[in-house]
Structures are given as C-alpha cells and as structure tokens.
Structure 1
C-alpha cells in the first residue's frame, strides 16, 4: 500500500513539474520573419528637394527657412530617405485622404507579399493581427483593410492602435506576448508604420516645424509565433519586455503633443523639456529591466560603487568626473536603439555609457532611412543582420521612445546565425560611410555664417 501511495505521489510531482515546464514553454514568443518597407526610388528626399519644399511654404519667413535648412543639414539624415508620393505631385504637402490610404496600401502590400512568400505562411494561418499607425485613423480600420485584402479568417483577433508615437512597435509586441499567454500554437502579425502624407506642418512655429525635417516614410511587418515546433526555424526569442509610462507627470505629458498653432495649423509640438523627459523615462525603464538582463554581480558592483561615490562626494567633498554607470555589455551583445534624431542617439549613448560602435546601427539607419517612427527599430535590427553581426545566442536590447511620455524596451535572444541583407541589400556594403556630413553643407554653408548672407535667389523667394 505504501508503495502505491509513493508511486502516486511521484506521478503527481512529475505531472506538476511537466505542467510548469509546459506552461513556461507555451508562453514563448518567437519572431519567424520580418520585412522592412523600401519605397520606390522616385520618392527619395534630397536636401535640395527639401529646400525647394521649404521655399514653397507660404507661411515661412527667411529666418524660419534658415532654421529648417540648418536643422536638415545637421540632422544626420542623408540624401536617400523617402517621402510620401503626394510630396512629388502638384498637390505637394496639401494631402488628401486618398494620399494617406495610398501610402499605407503601398507599405503593407509590398511588405506582406514578401513576408508571406519568404516565410511560406498563408494569410489564412494568421490568428492575431496588430497594426499601429500613430497619427491616422481610417474607417474601416487598417486591420479591416488588410483582412479584406488578404481574405483572412473570420475568427482572427485584430487590434488597431494609434496615438502611441515612436514607441508603438514594442507596445504591439507586448499585445502579442499577452495574447500568446492565453492562446497556444498561434501565428501573430504586427504591422508598424506612420502616415507621413498628412503630417506636414504648414505653420511657422519653430517648436513644430522641426518634425518636418526628421520624419520619413517607412514601415515593417513582423511575423511571430508561440509554436514550440517552430522554435528551430525562428530568428529571435523574446526574453523580457518592460514598458514605462510617465503620463501622470504634466511636464512629461505635454513635452510632445499634436496641436494647433495660433493660426490653426496642425502639427507636432516638441517642447524644450523633451530631452530631460526622455532621460528620466529611460532611467526608470532601465532600472526595471536591468535585473532581468544583467548578472547579479554586475548589479551589486554598481550599487556598491555608486554608494561609495555618493558618500565620498557628501562627506569627503570629492569631485568625480562622471557618475558610475551600469555596464550593460555584461548582459547585452547588441543595442537596437530608436534613431529618433542625432540628439536622441547621443543622449542614449551618454546615459548608457556606450561606444560609437554600439551606436553605429542607429546612426546608419537615421542616415539612410531617417526617422520612420515606430518602425525604425526594425531597420536598425536589419542593419545588424545585413552586417552579419547577429550570431546564435546573442542578446539584443531594443529601446524605443514615444509621446505621452513613454520608454519601452525588450531583449531578444538570437535563435540562429543571421545573414539576410533584407532592406539593406543594395547599400549595406557602403556603410558606414567615411563621413556623415551632409553633401549639401557646402552649397548651403551660408546658413552657418554670422551674419548670414543668403544668395539673392533665396532672398527673392521670400520677398
């Protein structure tokens, strides 16, 4: 009798152990494939074209023209980024609803056709669809438009999110992650983009016209699954994801908003407190994710040195050149950082104590594709893959920022050696270039003169 009870107890323990392992495995989240969007060559936005667009804005004066041109030339954005099709037509920046729909249709049709073809997954296999476009809402929604285009199943779970800014990509991944916890053996599709066509600001407020210089067309489609049978085919496995939201703070909430200026022109306001808010959001986020990605010894060493430095400054009046920084390279092999702009990249580099080599993928993405909002992270990841830097077992830290104000981060583990040149195929061998200095700096060099003397044709254009 005792032997029977012992066997039952052992079987029960084995069953509980199996359920725990099975539950943990079923919560896995894998990336099977992803595709970034590359618009056609006739939509490239050069500095010369940007200068013509600015001169065509009726509400800009000579001083605003100088401010915008200086921002473009020194932004770190190169000559091969892409704009929406209407910018190159007679309507210019005065977009219509059809321009926004065409922009989105071109994006998702090309990326999804390629993704379904290369992954050999049918649109009818998709169980979860998440689409994020921050500034544009359509009726019916973009998810419905995609479901109709590809004739997806009628029981598909769809999510259409907006207003999340550049951080929306990881928010979409988090939605899929949570859905995977409740549903097994599913395929999920995340589409992330931004509608640039209606987002041009036609006013003259400097805090709002700056966004005209930074944002470019782009997008990405990501195929995910939690099927354990496909884990060997996966590219990445999600290790952890942390979201930080500072919306309860008025300063953080108002530092980046869509609003009207005094003349009624709609645009995006970027406040002077934005860098400070971004630093605070990053600090809060890193404080949460660090224990999940760094060894305990590294954290203990940091706490010890930070306290020694604090006590030394307080009681011994010792001045330290720089504060102690957590060494994230002890737990991270690659840094996939949002290329929101030159200042954003420099700020993250300083905050995390990274090298210029760590920032290369983000700088090259900004230079080649510009800030494509929430999809930018996937262009950065594509650069690492195209350079054949992602090896099996490597850990990639993704960090994105967004209005509200938000900072979201996650870590991916590379499941196999990756070497696809993807969207970088035609140019990756040319990166990094010898210099990131804008080639039109010589032509527009007068903008940095003091006092500045614009050419006569420029003066005539604004008088």
Structure 2
C-alpha cells in the first residue's frame, strides 16, 4: 500500500507540475500571423550593366582594385536582379542626402506594412507593440515614430527603435517581443527589419570595405506577431525556442564587422578575415545551448557517447529539425555553416537562392529564405525550422519555429519561383568583363576602363 501511495503521489506531483508549467507558459506563446518581404521597383535593379557603371565612376580605383572587385562579384553568389538604392543608381553615391536614406527606408516600411494590414484585416490602431531595427540609420524623430505618425497608431503603443545590431537584428527584435509577451497578455506586435544602404555606399579603395558594396542590397521585411491564443488558428508559425549569443568582449570578434572611415576619410563597413572564425565560434556556442532544447534526448546521448569515446561523430540535426533557414550573408557564409552542420544542397538551396535573387539584405535576409521555402511548398504543418542569423558585435541569434499550418501563400517569390533554382549559376559579369584579368591591360587607367565599359566617369 505504501509503494502504491508513493507512486500515486509521484504521478500526481508530475501531472501538477506539467499542468502548472503549461499554465505559466500560456501567456508566453509567440505566434507569427503574417510576414511580408520587400521587392524593389524595376528601376532599382542592379544588374551587370548597372554594377559596371557604378564601379567605373569611382575615380579612386586602380586596375588591381577592379580585378579584386571582379573576382568578388563573380564569387559573390548574387544574380542579375538584386535591388540597389535609387540615389546610388543615379550617381549620387559620393554625396548622399539624409532624405535619400529616409526615402529608401520608408519605401520598405510602408510597402510591406500596407500589405500586412490589408491581408490580415488588422488595423494599425490595433497594434500594441512596434519594434523597428535598422542598424545604419538613426533619425529624429525615430523610425518607429515615423511609422506611428504615418499610420496614426494609438498613443499607448509600445515603441522600440533598435540600431547598430547588424544582420542578426531581426531575431533580437523578436526576442524583445517574446519577453514583452510574458507580461502583456493578448497583444499584437509588429516587427520591421531592414537596412539603410542609400547613405552608406563606400567610395574608397580599402578592400575589406569594398566588399560591402558587392554583397549588400536593398530589402527588408515586416512581421505580425501575437500571444493571443484566440488567434491561434490564424497563425502560420509558432516560436518554440530562441537563443542569443554575444562575443562583444572578444576584440577580434568585436572588430570583424564595423562601420568606420578609412585613412582617406571615406565611410563604409569593414569586413575582416576574422569574420568566419568569429561566426564559427559564436554559432558553436549558440547551438550548445539551443540544440538540447529541440533535439530528441536519444540523439544527444548518442552524440555525447561517441564523443566521449573519441569517435568521430556529427550530431544529426535532422532528428529534430526539418528545414534550415540560414542568413544569406554571402556564399562563403552559407558554405561554412552548411559544412559545419552536415547539411546537404537541398538544405542550403533556400539560402543560396535568396542570396542570388535578392543579395544580402542584412536583417531582412532570413525572411527571403523563409519565403523561398514557402513558395516551393516545403513547409508543412508540424515541421520545425531552424533560423540561423549572424551579425556584427559579434552576435549569433538562432531560433526554432514550428509550422502551425501548411504554408503556401503568395509572397515576394511568386513571379519568379518557377525559375529557381536556375540550371546554371553563371555570372554574366565575368563573361562581359573577364578581359580585365588579362595582364596585358595592366597599364590601362580607370578612365580608360570606364570608356571600354561604355560609360564616362562622372556621368
């Protein structure tokens, strides 16, 4: 009888604990109701011809710099239909105006938010929390204030403006919303993630700073989130886990991605060779915390056992995750993450295609990858998606979403998804301007190159 009583007490305690935990977490639920990625206008496309035109205008470059840019562009993984800032395309990169940056950002904000409010039937006045992250633009009034004024939101809306958080800022914003949801019940939150390119084009010749011109492009995303369980049937995703890792105390990691001025006074964004090492270290540290929360116990035990026996082993992420949404920061970043996690080309395809079609759109990049998966009808109810974001600081912010219902809605990929993945990833820049690598043209001046390309410097 005593043994039976003990078992019953243990069972009762376990059930009570599980029930209490469920009640405690009810208000902590974070659902995504909708998201919308930005697609630039036709005149904003940065194809091969436009890229060559912009490069040829830089009077500071020498022949070796052109060769470096050619190699970088060819190996970047970007295609012919990415979008650039209008003021850069119009030739105003040396003297950007504040209004150019505001115009660029507001186009992303209002285009994506208009679509979300229209599709969801939710009025801007119903929004309780607004978080905006744009790293390279700090305006007065703030960017959140501009959105609040534009949509005439309520006076008590809780607004947060994040800057300087880099490419992984989107998940920082979602983490902030998730924490607010713990103490504010039945709320609606909007997160807007973008980056300002119009005022941050680099016009110097320091190679670690020239890289940003080759890979960063205009883009962004707005998201609608809630913790109101009455809206559960409307949700497309449910956040199950989010882990943030920061290596700002390490000098190498801190300095590998930084907004600076070069020795000539030209401002830009410096990316050093230590970036990949910092990314690998922060990703490893992050996954040590995140994976035990999402992978089955037996896989953790198997991996630990083989590791303790000094047997070569890689943890099998696919025992607990079906899809991998990797920040499309560059081809090398995607390759490194894929190799370190044991992912195949099917897993990496969404990130590669997002990079090819839209470029590195900084904090907005993850959502173009998600959009690709949805457009390809890969996301089924119950599937789990691991989002991996890396950014300046150095930061690694990762999370896992559970698909709440089959996702197959129209999105930013709807007009082109049939062309992806392309049969051949050929960079036309190499085909048109590959002659610049020939040693025989080493004596040619930049202005001569501009004429050969068909453009006049300063035009």
TM range (shorter): over 0.9
CA distance in 2, matches of 1:452, 1:356: 39
Structure 1 pair 405/99, CA: closer, same or farther in 2 (3 Å)? same
CA distance in 2, matches of 1:169, 1:177: 12
Structure 1 pair 99/267, CA: closer, same or farther in 2 (3 Å)? same
Partner of 1:385: 374
Partner of 1:403: 392
* TM-score normalised by the chain length of structure 2: 0.92
TM-superposed CA distance for 1:439, in Å, is 2.3
> Partner of 1:443: helix, strand, or coil?
helix
TM-superposed CA distance for 1:92, in Å, is 4.0
* TM-score normalised by the chain length of structure 1: 0.91
> Partner of 2:141: helix, strand, or coil?
coil
Unaligned runs of 5+ in 1: 1-12, 311-322
Partner of 2:266: 265
TM-superposed CA distance for 1:17, in Å, is 7.5
Structure 1 pair 298/17, CA: closer, same or farther in 2 (3 Å)? closer
Taking the TM superposition and a 5 Å limit, the aligned residue runs for 1:173-184 are: 173-184=174-185
Report if aligned partners of 1:47, 1:73 keep a CA contact under 8 Å in 2: no
CA distance in 1, matches of 2:417, 2:442: 36
> Partner of 1:283: helix, strand, or coil?
helix
TM-superposed CA distance for 1:60, in Å, is 1.2
Partner of 1:460: 448
Partner of 2:3: none
Partner of 1:143: 144
CA distance in 2, matches of 1:355, 1:453: 41
Report if aligned partners of 1:86, 1:93 keep a CA contact under 8 Å in 2: no
Structure 1 pair 360/90, CA: closer, same or farther in 2 (3 Å)? closer
Partner of 1:417: 406
TM-superposed CA distance for 1:447, in Å, is 4.2
TM-superposed CA distance for 1:452, in Å, is 6.0
TM-superposed CA distance for 1:199, in Å, is 1.1
Partner of 1:324: 313
CA distance in 2, matches of 1:386, 1:24: 32
Q: Over aligned residues, Cα RMSD in angstroms?
A: 2.1
Partner of 2:240: 239
Report if aligned partners of 1:133, 1:194 keep a CA contact under 8 Å in 2: yes
Structure 1 pair 127/207, CA: closer, same or farther in 2 (3 Å)? same
Partner of 1:230: 231
CA distance in 2, matches of 1:447, 1:462: 12
> Partner of 1:182: helix, strand, or coil?
coil
CA distance in 1, matches of 2:366, 2:436: 32
- Further displaced range: 41-50 or 116-125: 41-50
Structure 1 pair 427/459, CA: closer, same or farther in 2 (3 Å)? same
TM-superposed CA distance for 1:444, in Å, is 2.0
CA distance in 1, matches of 2:215, 2:440: 24
> Partner of 1:82: helix, strand, or coil?
coil
Partner of 1:123: 124
Unaligned runs of 5+ in 2: 1-13, 452-459
- Further displaced range: 100-109 or 323-332: 323-332
Structure 1 pair 17/377, CA: closer, same or farther in 2 (3 Å)? closer
Report if aligned partners of 2:62, 2:446 keep a CA contact under 8 Å in 1: no
> Partner of 1:243: helix, strand, or coil?
strand
Report if aligned partners of 2:54, 2:91 keep a CA contact under 8 Å in 1: no
Partner of 1:74: 75
Partner of 1:213: 214
Instruction: Work out whether 1:23 is the aligned partner of 2:24.
Output: yes
Partner of 2:338: 349
TM-superposed CA distance for 1:85, in Å, is 1.1
TM-superposed CA distance for 1:87, in Å, is 1.6
CA distance in 2, matches of 1:202, 1:255: 20
Instruction: Work out whether 1:443 is the aligned partner of 2:444.
Output: no
Taking the TM superposition and a 5 Å limit, the aligned residue runs for 1:85-96 are: 85-96=86-97
- Further displaced range: 181-190 or 248-257: 248-257
Structure 1 pair 106/455, CA: closer, same or farther in 2 (3 Å)? farther
CA distance in 2, matches of 1:280, 1:435: 33
> Partner of 2:400: helix, strand, or coil?
strand
CA distance in 1, matches of 2:356, 2:394: 25
TM-superposed CA distance for 1:461, in Å, is 3.8
Structure 1 pair 462/48, CA: closer, same or farther in 2 (3 Å)? closer
> Partner of 1:207: helix, strand, or coil?
helix
Report if aligned partners of 2:385, 2:402 keep a CA contact under 8 Å in 1: yes
Structure 1 pair 309/20, CA: closer, same or farther in 2 (3 Å)? closer
TM-superposed CA distance for 1:93, in Å, is 4.6
Q: How many residues align?
A: 440
TM-superposed CA distance for 1:349, in Å, is 0.5
> Partner of 2:398: helix, strand, or coil?
strand
